[in-house]
Structure 1
Amino acid sequence: MKISVIGAGYAGLSSALLLSRHHLNRITVYDRFDRVQTIGAGILIQPSAIEILKKLGLYEQLIDHGEKVYHLEGINHRRRQVFLTSYDDYSPNSFGIGIHRSLLFQSLYDKCKIQSNITFQLSREITSLADLQVTNDLVIVASGSHSKLREQVPIKQTYQPYPYGCLWTTIEDNEIARHRLCQYLRYSQEMFGILPSGLNHNSKRIVSVFWSLPTRLKTTYSLENVLERMKYYLNDTHSDFFEKLKQANYSFAIYGDVYMQRYDHENLVFIGDAAHAMSPQLGQGANMALIDSYFLDKSLQEHNDDVRIALQMYTHMRRRHLRFYSQASKFLTPLYQSDRQIYGRFRDLMFTISKQIKFSRRMSSEILCGKRISWIRNKEIEY
C-alpha cells in the first residue's frame, strides 16, 4: 500500500512507524520544515500511551531518560492542598513518565529513519489533499491543530483558540518536584506548574516550568511580575530554584480546540491534534496521538482489503474515547484558566471534598491515566 503522512510530529511519526511493520507498505512522510524537529518543554506520558510505546519498542529508552511521576498535587495560594491525584488510586505500581518532548520525538524519528520502507520529504508543504488522494492508497493528515488542510474536506468541524496560553521554560534542578507534578493555584487566575522532565542531553535532571497567562497579554506581560508571583508560591524553601528561574529564557505557547464530526473522508484520515486538539490541562495531547496511531494501524489490519471501510472503523473506534476527553477538557479548563474567580473557588471546594472519597479519587486517577471512555459506566479503551 502506498501511504502519505502529512506532518512529522508525534502522530505522524508513530503512525508511520507502526504501519512500516507491514513490509508491503511504502510510506512517505512530508513536513514543511527543512529538518524534522520539535520545540517545547516536558510532557507527561500516561499509562494509556505507555502501552503503545511498549509496542513500538521505545519504552525502555524512555524509562531510562524520563522520570516516573506518581502524583499530581495542587496547592492553592493559601498553601493548602486542594487535590492529590495518585496513580496508585487507579492501579498499584502505576505511574506516568515525565520526559522532555524532544527525547520522545527523537526516539520516534530515529526509529523511523532506519525503516527501509519510510522516506522523508522535507521542506515540502502540502497544499492539496486531492492530489495526494489520487496518487496514494492512504493519506494521513497529522499536521497539527492549526492545520488549514481540514478546510478541504466536507466534514463538520470547528476550531476555537483558547483565551489562555502559557509561558514555559526548562530548568536543571536535582531536588524540586521529585516524582510529582506540582501545580500552584490562585483561584482560576493563576497557575504555576512544575513537571519533572527526565534528563537532558547532558544527562542532567530537568523540570519544565509553566505559567498560565491570557493570550491577550502575550506581548504586554511583565516577566518581573510573573517572577514575583512564582517567588511567592516557592517561598524561601526553594531560593536556589528561584534564582534559576530568574536567569531562564521563556517562550509563550498558545492552544486551540479542534472538533471534527468524523475523522475519515474517502481514503483520507485526520489524526492527532489535526483531528481533536484540546486544552493541555489534562496533559493528553501526545498520548492521544500515540493511541490514534495504534488504532489506525489496527483498523487497517482488520480491513486490509478496503481502506475506506478501515478508516470508517477507525473513526468508530476512536469516537467515544476522544469525545470523553474533549468533554473533560472543556469542563476542567475554566476551573484552572479563567478570569472568573468563582470557577477557582468552586474547584477548590469540589476537589477538597472529592479527595476524601475513594470513588472520586479513583475516577480522577482513571481520567489522568487517559483510559476512561464514559462518565457513568466504568469502561476503558481496549487495545
Structure 2
Amino acid sequence: MKPLKIAVVGAGPAGLAASLFLTRAGHATDIIERFDNPAPVGSALMLQPTGLTVLESLGLGPAIHAAGNRIDRLFGTENTRGNIVLDVRYSALSGGRYGLAVHRAALFDTLYDEVSARKHPILTGKRVMGVMEEGDRSYLSIEGGDRLGPYDLVIDASGARSELVAASSMAPSVRNLAYGAFWATLDCPDGLVDQAALTQRYDKASVMIGVLPIGSRRPDVPRQAALFWSLKVAEADEVRRRGLDRWKNRIRGYWPECEPLLEQISDWDQLTLARYAHRTMKMPYSGRTVFVGDAAHSTSPQLGQGANMALLDVAALAHALAEHENLHAALAAYVRARRMHVRLFQLLSAAFTPFYQSDSAALAWIRDRLVATIVRVPPAPQILAAIVSGTLVDPFAAAGLRESDWLRAIAPQPS
C-alpha cells in the first residue's frame, strides 16, 4: 500500500504502539490526545506471551522486562476452608511461557519514550468529537470548532469510553458490569507474597482480594505490588463514607498478612476505582475509521487480556495494511485476522467472571468444590494455561508475528 497519512486518536498503549508499527512501515501518523499531558491511567496489568511478543517485535522487550516482574503462577484460595479455587501455572505449557506484571506507567513509559525518541507528532489538548469523510479523505472535528486533516485513515485507540464508538453506526450494546475494584500501587516488602505469583483470596464470589507483584518501573523506585479489592461499583461511595479504617479492617479480617500494604494507605486518593463493561463491536471499522483495543472490545479483567488484545490489534492492523494495496481490503483483512481470537476471549471472560465476581452463592459453591480437582486433571492445566496466556487459539500468524522464544527470553526468575 502507498504511504498513508494516519490519525491515531488516543495516546494510550494501543495508540502509541500503532504509531510505532505504522511509521516503521512508511506511513505518517499524528497522535491526537485529549489531555494536555499524556499519562497512564490505573494501577497494574499483566502482559501475557501475546502482548510480550508484540513488544518484542517493536524492539521493546528489554525495556519492558526491566520494568516488570515475571509471573509463573496465578493462585487463589477461598477464605473459609482455604480450598484452592484458582491455580494456573504457565509451566503446564511447553516452551517456557510466563506472564510479566507491570505498572501501567511502565508500559506507557516504554512506548511513549520510543515514540518521543522517534519524534512522532503528538497533538495534545485535542478532544476529538467526530470524523467527517469528504471524498477520499477524513477530517477530525475538534472540541471548540477546529478540525484536523486530511487523513487517509483514522484509528480510534481512545479506550472503552470512546466518543467515536458511541457516535458510530457500528456502536455495540454495552453491558456495564456490577463489580469493579479498588486498586492501589504500594511498596512490596520482601516475603509478603510469592513474588512469582498473582495471589488472591475469595469469600464466595462477592469478595476478591489480590496482590500482584509488579517489580520496579524505574531504577529509583522500590519493588512494588498492586493491591486490589473487588466490590460493587454502586456501593463504592458508601464504602468511602464509612471510612478508610473500616475498609482496611475488612481486608485484615480476610488476609492479616496484608498489613504492610494497608499501613501505607492513608487516603482514599491512593485508591483508583476501576469500572468494567462488556461489549464487542461486530464490525470494528466504518468507512476509513478503524477501532482497536478497548474501543473495539472490552470486558472484565478476569483473564488479564485487555492490554494484550490491544497490542495484538495494532500488530494485526499494521500487517493487514502491509499485505493489501486497497485500504478497504486491508481493513476487512484486519477484522478477519482478529475476529476469532477476540470473540473467543470475550466469551471466556464473560463465562469465567460470575464464578469470581458476582452475587451468586451457587456459582461460588461449584467453584470451591470443583476447581481444586479439575485443575489437576489433564488436559485442564494445559487448557487453563493456554487461556491465561491468550494462546488457546493462535493469535500470532494472523498478525504477522512469530511468538517469542521464551526459553531464551531475557526475563529473569524473581528473586
Assess same fold via TM > 0.5.
yes
Q: CA deviation at 1:154?
A: 2.4
Q: CA deviation at 1:255?
A: 1.4
RMSD across aligned positions (CA): 1.7
CA distance in 2, matches of 1:358, 1:297: 38
One of 5, 20, 24 as aligned partner of 1:17: 20
CA deviation profile, 1:25-54 (whole Å, cap 9, x unmatched)? 110010110011012111110011111110
CA deviation profile, 1:143-198 (whole Å, cap 9, x unmatched)? 11111211333225112211111111011013223110011111101000111111
CA distance in 1, matches of 2:339, 2:31: 25
One of 79, 86, 89 as aligned partner of 1:83: 86
Whether contact under 8 Å (1:44, 1:97) holds in the other structure is yes
CA distance in 1, matches of 2:265, 2:77: 19
CA distance in 2, matches of 1:291, 1:316: 13
Secondary structure of 1:85's aligned partner: strand
Secondary structure of 1:372's aligned partner: coil
Would the alpha carbon gap of residues 220 and 268 (structure 1) be closer, same or farther in structure 2, given more than 3 Å must change? same
CA distance in 1, matches of 2:258, 2:6: 51
Q: Which residue of 2 aligns with 1:168?
A: 183
Q: Which residue of 1 aligns with 2:362?
A: 342
Q: What is the letter of the counterpart of residue 357 of structure 1?
A: V
Q: CA deviation at 1:91?
A: 2.4
Q: What is the letter of the counterpart of residue 330 of structure 1?
A: A
Q: What is the letter of the counterpart of residue 227 of structure 2?
A: V
Q: Which residue of 2 aligns with 1:291?
A: 312
Which segment is superposed worse, 123-132 or 64-73?
123-132
Whether contact under 8 Å (2:83, 2:372) holds in the other structure is no
Q: Which residue of 2 aligns with 1:194?
A: 211
Whether contact under 8 Å (1:281, 1:332) holds in the other structure is yes
In the TM superposition, 1:359-374 aligns within 5 A as: 359-373=379-393
Q: Which residue of 2 aligns with 1:206?
A: 224
Q: CA deviation at 1:244?
A: 3.1
Q: Which residue of 1 aligns with 2:198?
A: 181
Whether contact under 8 Å (1:257, 1:279) holds in the other structure is yes
Q: Which residue of 2 aligns with 1:376?
A: none
Equivalent pairs, count? 374
In the TM superposition, 1:256-271 aligns within 5 A as: 256-271=277-292
In the TM superposition, 1:1-383 aligns within 5 A as: 1-23=4-26, 25-78=27-80, 79-116=82-119, 118-130=120-132, 133=138, 135-155=150-170, 157-175=172-190, 176-177=192-193, 178-201=195-218, 202-221=220-239, 222=242, 223-235=244-256, 237=257, 239-245=259-265, 249-303=270-324, 305-373=325-393, 381-382=396-397, 383=401
Which segment is superposed worse, 96-105 or 106-115?
106-115
Q: CA deviation at 1:22?
A: 2.1
CA distance in 2, matches of 1:239, 1:217: 24
Which blocks of at least 5 consecutive residues in structure 2 are unaligned?
Answer: 140-149, 402-415
CA distance in 2, matches of 1:268, 1:57: 28
Q: CA deviation at 1:93?
A: 2.5
Q: What is the letter of the counterpart of residue 213 of structure 1?
A: L
Which segment is superposed worse, 41-50 or 215-224?
215-224
Whether contact under 8 Å (1:258, 1:273) holds in the other structure is no
CA distance in 2, matches of 1:50, 1:365: 16
Which segment is superposed worse, 59-68 or 343-352?
343-352
Whether contact under 8 Å (2:207, 2:229) holds in the other structure is yes
Once the two structures are aligned, what percentage of the paired residues are identical?
A: 29
CA distance in 2, matches of 1:380, 1:261: 18
Secondary structure of 1:144's aligned partner: coil
CA distance in 2, matches of 1:37, 1:180: 28
Which blocks of at least 5 consecutive residues in structure 1 are unaligned?
Answer: 374-378
Secondary structure of 1:20's aligned partner: helix
Whether contact under 8 Å (2:6, 2:29) holds in the other structure is yes
Whether contact under 8 Å (2:43, 2:272) holds in the other structure is no
Secondary structure of 2:37's aligned partner: coil
CA deviation profile, 1:98-126 (whole Å, cap 9, x unmatched)? 1101011011011112224x211100011
Could you state the TM-score of these two structures normalised by the residue count of structure 2?
0.86
Q: CA deviation at 1:243?
A: 2.8
CA distance in 2, matches of 1:150, 1:241: 39
CA distance in 1, matches of 2:86, 2:352: 14
Could you state the TM-score of these two structures normalised by the residue count of structure 1?
0.93
Whether contact under 8 Å (1:168, 1:210) holds in the other structure is yes
Which segment is superposed worse, 44-53 or 350-359?
350-359
Whether contact under 8 Å (2:102, 2:217) holds in the other structure is no
